[in-house]
Every structure is written in C-alpha cells, then in structure tokens.
Amino acid sequence: MTVTKFQDLPLADRDREWDGSAADKRVRDWADAEDSPDAAYRDAHLWYDGDKPGNFGSYKLLIADVVGGKLTAVPRGIMAAGGVVDGARGGVKIPEDEVPRVKAHLARYYEKMGDTPPWER
C-alpha cells in the first residue's frame, strides 16, 4: 500500500467540470496505459495498492485529467477526493494509517487552490 509522491501538477480552472470516469479514460490514453497501469497513470492518483500495481482497480483517488495535452490537477477532483478521504462522501478503502499522508498530499493542493481542506474547517 502506498501514497503517491506529490507531483505539484498545474491546476485547471476552478470551474472545470469533473467526470472521474472520463478523466480516467483520458489519463490512460495520455499515459499509454491502455493494457496496464504505469508510472504516468499512477501520478494522476493519490493512492495505490503497491502489492497489485498492475491492476487498474488498485488505484484510488484520481485527482487529475489531461488538459491541453498535460496532466493537470482538477480542483473539483481534488475536492471530491477530499470529501471521500474525510468520509463526507462515503469514504474509500485505504489503510487507516495512510490516511494522514493522503490528507497531507491533498492539503498541498488545497493550499495551491487558496482553500482549506474540509477536515480543517
């Protein structure tokens, strides 16, 4: 189990729509990860199961999309992930001891957006 390394991706416009399924398809295509996940695909997520890195289902908390040919963090994706990690939107199954690191990762993007993470409000 592992939290991905902070990528400091550029931010999309705050009002950009977020469709995680569509974003995942674009990220797979951009990363050339149609058959199996790779490092570029991993960079779009906050967490993955390091014991099963070859399974797409191992990757959780997608926060990025491909905008203008570049991997870009999407504020609404960040907020959706923040709500899930905070438990406001049902939660996601990741080891409890890794939640603080995921929150720290998210907090850096919230700061970049000029906002406060929901768990600090």
Do the Cβ atoms of 106 and 3 come closer than 8 Å?
A: no
Q: What is the mean pLDDT of residues 9-25?
A: 97
State yes or no: pLDDT of 90 exceeds 90.
no
Predicted local confidence at residue 101, as pLDDT: 93
Q: What is the mean pLDDT of residues 38-46?
A: 97
Helix (H) or strand (E) holding 66: strand 64-67
In whole angstroms, give the CA distance from residue 53 to residue 68.
Answer: 27
Cα dihedral 25, 28, 33, 36 in deg (nearest 10): -50
Tell me phi and psi for residue 55, to 5 degrees: -105, 125
Predicted local confidence at residue 94, as pLDDT: 86
Q: For the chain, what are the domain ranges?
A: 2-120
